[in-house]
Amino acid sequence: MDPIPRAFVRPDGLEPDAVVRALERVGPVRRSPPGVEARVVLDTFDGRLHRRGEVLEAVSGPPGERLAWHGPGGEPLGSLPAPAPRFATDLPAGPFRERLEALTGVRALLPVVRLETRVERFAVLDGEGKTVCRVGWEDHAAAAPEGGPPVPLSPRLRVVPVRGYPKPFGRVLARLRELGGLGDDGRDEVGEALDALGVRPGAYTSKVRVALERGLTADEAVRRVLLHLLGAMEANVPGTRGAWDTEFLHDFRVAVRRTRAALGQLRGVLPADEVARYRPEFAWLGQVTGPARDLDVYRLGLPGFRAALPPDLRDALEPFDRLLADRQAAAYREVDRALGSRRFQRLVTGWRAFLEAPAEPGPGAPRAGTAVEDLARRRIVKAHRRVLREGAAIGPDSPADAFHELRKSCKKLRYLLEFFQGLFDPGGVGRLVKDLKGLQDNLGAFQDLEVQATALVGFADALAGDGPARTQLALGVLVEHLRRRQAEVRDAFGRRFDRFAGRVTRKRLEAVLRGPEG
C-alpha cells in the first residue's frame, strides 16, 4: 500500500535552498517556478464531508480547474478535472460522482472557506529521470467564502509520494527531518483555516438536541426546546431564500411544524395570551412555505415518475417538468418575500425576546411550575393513546382523511419523544422512535400518493391546452400507477400498525417513562 502525503509546519529560518540540498542527497531535483493556487473547500450545509474527516476542494491553478478529494490525514480519495459543482449530479458520470452523490444526496455543495496558496514544487528524480517523490514549499492564507481580509496561516512543507515508489518517499522524509524544526500541530491548513475564521462545518443538525435536567420546571424546559427550534429556523433562512437546495426549506418547515406541535401539545405551560398571539404567525409560515415544498417533492420525484412509465413515454414528461420548474420558481419568490418581510422579522425578534425573558407566573400558565419529567410522561402517554385509538379505528373502508389524521398524531408523538429524550434513556427513546417511524413511513407514503395522484390530475388539466397529447397520456398512466401503489400501502397498514401497537413497543414505552427511579 502506498504511503499518504505528509505535511509539516515549516520552522522560521528554513530556506528553500536548504530543502533542495537535503533532497539532492536522495536524487536529482527538478525545481518548478513558484505558482499560485486558489482553493475553495466545499461541503454540505450539515457538514457531511467534514464529519467523516474528508475535504473536497475546487482547485484553480496550473494546469487548470480540478476537484481534489482527501480523506483523514490527507489520503487521496479521488481527483477530477472539473470546476466546482453545485450538486454532485452536475459532475460527469463515473465513480467519483457516484461516491459523492451517495454521500451528499440532494444537498448542495457550498463554499466553506477559501484558501490562496503560493507554492513552489520540487520533484525528486531517479537515475532514469522519473519522478519518485514530490515536495511542495507552501504559503497559505485563508478567507471567508463571502470575502474579507485574508488571514495568514502557518507555512508548510508537503511531501507527496509517487505511486510505486515508497522507499524514496521514506528517504525524503528522513532527509527533511534531519533539517530539524519541522512541526506537526495535528491540523492541516484547512483545519487551521476553519479555526482561524471560526467556521464549524457540521455544527448544524436538524435533530432536536436540547439539554434538559430532571426537576427543571416545565416552563424553562419548553422555552429551551422552542429556542432550539427557533435557531433551526433562523439557520435555514438564507438557504431557503436563496433556494440553495431543497433541504433548507424542508428543515425550516420541520422546525415550524415542531414549534406548532409544542404549542398545541404543551398547553398551560406558557402564558396563554402569548401562545394565542404567536400560534397564527407560525401557521402563516406553514401556509406560505407549503406550495414551494410540494413542488420540490414533485420535482425530486420526477426520476421515479419516469421509471414508472413505459420507455416510450418517459420523454413525454418534459413539458410537465417545465411547468413544475416555472411554478417552483414562482413559489420560491413568494417564500423569499415572506421571509424578507417585516412580519417575519417581527415574529422572529418578538418570539426570541419572549422565550429569553424571565418567566412570569400567572393564571394563563397553570402548568409552568410542573416538573418537566412529569409533564413529559403525561403528554407522551396521552399522545400514544391517541395514536392507538385512531389506528385501531381504521378499517378497509376508512377514508383517506383517517390516515391523514393518524399521521398527524404520530408526528406529535414523535416530536414529544424528541423534545424530552434527554430526560429518559436515549437508547430506549431511539428504539421507540424507530418503531414509530415504521408506521409513519407507511402513513406518509399513503398520504403522499393520495396528494400526488390528485395533483397530477390538476397538472394534466393545466397542460390540456398547451401540452402534447403524449404528456396527457403519461400523466394519466402515472395517476393509475400511484393509485395502485396507494392500494398496496393501504394493505400494508394493518401489519405496520399491529407491530407498533403490540406488546414489545408498549413495554419499551413503559420502561422508558418509568425511568431508573422505577
List the one residue out of 139, 136, 87, 92 whose CA is nearest residue 118: 139
- Which pLDDT value is given to residue 356? 96
Alpha-carbon span 196 to 187, nearest angstrom:
12
The tens-digit pLDDT sequence of the chain (518 residues) is: 678 899 999 999 999 999 999 999 999 999 999 999 999 999 999 999 999 999 999 999 877 899 999 998 888 999 999 999 999 999 999 999 999 999 999 999 999 999 999 999 999 999 999 999 999 999 999 999 988 899 999 999 999 999 999 999 999 999 999 998 888 767 889 999 999 999 998 889 899 989 999 999 999 999 999 999 999 999 999 999 999 999 999 999 999 999 999 999 999 999 999 999 999 999 999 999 999 999 999 999 999 999 999 999 999 999 999 999 999 999 999 999 999 999 999 999 999 999 999 877 777 899 999 999 999 999 999 999 999 999 999 998 999 999 999 999 999 999 999 999 989 988 889 999 999 999 999 999 999 999 999 999 999 888 876 668 899 999 999 999 999 999 999 999 999 999 999 999 999 999 999 865 54
Residue with cell 454532485: 88
Alpha-carbon span 58 to 82, nearest angstrom:
8
Question: From the DSSP assignment, how many helices (H) and strands (E) are in the chain?
Answer: 16, 10
Topology agreement, domain 6-197 and domain 206-370: no
Residue 126 main-chain phi, psi, to 5 deg: -95, -170
Length of the chain: 518
Report residue 116 as a C-alpha cell: 490562496
Give the domain 6-197 fold: Hypothetical Protein Pfu-838710-001 (2.40.320)
- Which pLDDT value is given to residue 362? 72
CATH of 371-518, one of 3.40.50.2300, 2.40.10.120, 1.40.20.10, 1.10.10.10: 1.40.20.10
Q: Which helix (H) or strand (E) holds 157?
A: strand 156-161
- Which pLDDT value is given to residue 515? 67
- CA atoms 365, 368, 374, 375: torsion sign: positive
Amino acid at 33: P
- Which pLDDT value is given to residue 129? 94
Strand partners, 343: none
Domain ranges of the chain: 6-197, 206-370, 371-518
CATH number of the 206-370 domain: 1.40.20.10
Alpha-carbon span 460 to 321, nearest angstrom:
12
CB 196 within 8 A of CB 170: no
Residue 154 main-chain phi, psi, to 5 deg: -65, 135
Alpha-carbon span 4 to 353, nearest angstrom:
52
List the one residue out of 292, 290, 285 whose CA is nearest residue 330: 292
Strand ranges (DSSP E) for 16-108? 29-31, 35-43, 55-60, 66-70, 76-80
Structure pTM?
0.91
Which residues are within 8 A (CB) of 212 and not within 5 positions of it... i.e. 6 or more apart?
221, 224, 225, 372, 420, 422, 423
Alpha-carbon span 160 to 17, nearest angstrom:
19
Tens-digit pLDDT profile for residues 419-461: 999 899 888 899 999 999 999 999 999 999 999 999 999 998 8
Alpha-carbon span 89 to 108, nearest angstrom:
10
Residue with cell 482527501: 70
- Which pLDDT value is given to residue 147? 85
Cβ neighbours around 86 below 10 Å, total: 12
Backbone region of residue 503 per phi and psi (left: phi > 0; alpha: psi in -120 to 50; beta: other values): alpha
